[in-house]
Amino acid sequence: MPLLLSSLLGKYRVLVFAVAAFFLVSVGVYTLNYVLLQNVERYAKSINEGGKLRGYSQQLAKAVLTLSHESAADEPVQTSQAQISEAYQAFDKALAEVQAFAADSQDGPALELADKLDRQWQPLRSAAIMLLASATPDRAAIDAAVTLSNTRNVRLLQLADDLTPAALART
């Protein structure tokens, strides 16, 4: 029997090695594809979260400015307050997702970026909550929120944009 096996292996040796090499190359390619797809998924999530943060930041800035104009013209402000409420809650949720994503990936730069986003966001969040505290917000609170929105919004947009290069720099 060993003689038969050795003669068969001898006759098909090249074929057996070719099939084994093909199998090893296939496993290597599939493994590489899997790893790259994991990175693509991570990058796509980072880009998506950055886009959400930019959008919600813009929505909040627009709603605060609209509230300011409506208040100055003695018009109803309920719609603007509803927009402020929606935008700040959505920003909070998106920021929490960014923080969770950064914590899950144990990525130092992403954690630092999430912390910077949070530090920039908290004063604006507090101002938004203050505007929602009463049916007719105080003019001084509105003006303070407009000023804060104007100064913080640009930095929030930049930090949200940094989510994409930060993800790409990790490769």
Q: Which residue range forms the structural domain that includes residue 69?
A: 46-169
Cβ proximity of 80 and 70 under 8 Å: yes
> What are the b/e assignments for 77-97, b being 16+ CB within 10 Å?
beebbebbbebbebbeebbeb
- Does residue 159 belong to any structural domain of this protein? yes
Structural domains counted in the chain = 1
Between 53 and 105, the more confident residue is 53
Residue 60 burial by CB count (10 A; 0-12/13-18/19+): exposed, middle or buried?
buried
Compute how many other C-beta atoms are within 10 angstroms of the C-beta atom of residue 16: 12
**More confident call, 44 vs 90:** 90
Residue range 3-26: mean pLDDT, rounded:
78
Q: Residue 11 domain-assigned?
A: no
Q: Find the radius of gyration of the CA atoms of the chain.
A: 28
Amino acid 148 reads L
37 within a domain of the structure (yes/no): no
Query: Hey, which of 44-53, 119-128, 135-144 has the most confident mean pLDDT?
Result: 119-128
As a whole number, mean pLDDT of residues 35-50 equals 82
Count CB atoms within 10 A of the CB of residue 141: 15
At residue 155, φ and ψ (nearest 5 deg) are: -65, -40
Percent of the chain with pLDDT over 90: 46
**Residue 16 falls within a domain, yes or no?**
no
Residue 89 belongs to a domain: yes
- Residue 25 inside a domain? The answer is no
Between CA 114 and CA 97 the distance in angstroms is 10
Domain assignment present for residue 90? The answer is yes
What digits encode the pLDDT tens for the residues 131-167? 998 888 888 999 999 999 999 999 999 988 887 765 5
User: C-alpha angle with apex 122: 149 to 139, nearest 5 degrees?
Assistant: 45
- Per-residue pLDDT, 171: 46
Query: Looking at residue 154, which CATH number applies to its domain?
Result: 1.20.1440.210
Task: Report yes or no on 28 lying in a domain.
Answer: no
